[in-house]
Amino acid sequence: MQLTPRQKAILDIVKKEGPITGEQIAERLNLTRATLRPDMAILTMSGMLEARPRVGYFHSGKKPGRVLAEKLHRIQVGEVKSVPVVVPEKCTVYDAVVTMFIEDVGTLFVVREGGLLEGIISRKDLLKTTLGGQDIHKLPVGVIMTRMPNIIYAEPDESVLEAARKLISHEVDALPVVRAVKGQDGSTGYEVIGRFSKTNITRLFVELGEGDY
Ligand code: ADP
């Protein structure tokens, strides 16, 4: 992060004299507090300065990159996930295409009763089917989907960084966000409670850039 000469001067003052109030920093620089406000906002947002009410500013000793990395470890999938769009296994390929358009998503999750994860369908899975010459009004998505246990998923308390790594390493666009549940026969099922996609990461990226997160 490139600091302006004025921001560097503020950092030097706070390093030497902190904790110090905004008023005192403005005095040292012969400027008004209003003039300094945007600089103070940038320095606190980046994590280089910390502000404590009634105490003033002090130097955190953190580099901006480190602050961002800490945030990405701390923000959980559950905080940024979207609503999942699910279809049953019997849903036809035609209806799956329509659902993708209506819901404006690129990945559908296939669930059985109780919302338990069975499979996943992507745009290309559907496109591929259209090349095969099968009747898309009759073919159920269960025949073409990627099936459990081959589905990569995320859990709500996992960090966004960890989930983003899964998207990259498995080369997929979205992960179902699931909660493990025990079935009556003792087997483990995965209830779909959300969707974590590249769009969630892009949105978070913008919010971090704008200092909103
Ligand atoms: P597309 O290539 O259609 O844009 P993806 O890259 O997400 O979309 O999907 C590629 C393939 O991986 C598809 O066959 C899809 O069924 C499968 N797939 C998508 N998401 C997952 C996931 N989370 N876990 C396992 N397989 C997935």
Cα 180 to averaged position of ligand 1 atoms, centre (Å):
21
> Which is it for strands 116-122 and 107-112: parallel, antiparallel or unpaired?
antiparallel
Q: Give all domains of the chain, ordered by start, each with its CATH number.
A: 5-74 (1.10.10.10), 77-203 (3.10.580.10)
Question: What does pLDDT average to in each consecutive run of 10 residues of the chain (213 residues)?
Answer: 90 94 94 93 86 89 77 93 97 98 97 93 95 93 96 97 96 97 88 97 90 72
Tell whether ligand 1 has an atom less than 6 A from the beta carbon of residue 172. Answer: yes
Is the bond leading into 156 cis (omega within 30 degrees of zero)? Answer: no
Do the beta carbons of residue 127 and residue 119 sit within 8 Å?
no
Q: Looking at residue 71, what is its pLDDT?
A: 83
Nearest to 174 by CA among 140, 213, 207, 202: 202
Tell whether ligand 1 has an atom less than 6 A from the beta carbon of residue 175. Answer: yes
Cα 50 to averaged position of ligand 1 atoms, centre (Å):
43
Q: Looking at residue 5, what is its pLDDT?
A: 94
Cα 172 to averaged position of ligand 1 atoms, centre (Å):
5
Q: Looking at residue 183, what is its pLDDT?
A: 79
Tell whether ligand 1 has an atom less than 6 A from the beta carbon of residue 125. Answer: yes
Atom 13 of ligand 1: nearest residue by CA position: 122
Cα 121 to averaged position of ligand 1 atoms, centre (Å):
7
Tell whether ligand 1 has an atom less than 6 A from the beta carbon of residue 120. Answer: yes
Residue 122: beta bridge partners? 107
Nearest to 161 by CA among 122, 204, 117, 192: 204
Q: Looking at residue 61, what is its pLDDT?
A: 82
| Burial of residue 200 (number of CB atoms within 10 Å: 0-12, 13-18, 19+) | buried
Atom 18 of ligand 1: nearest residue by CA position: 172
Tell whether ligand 1 has an atom less than 6 A from the beta carbon of residue 123. Answer: yes
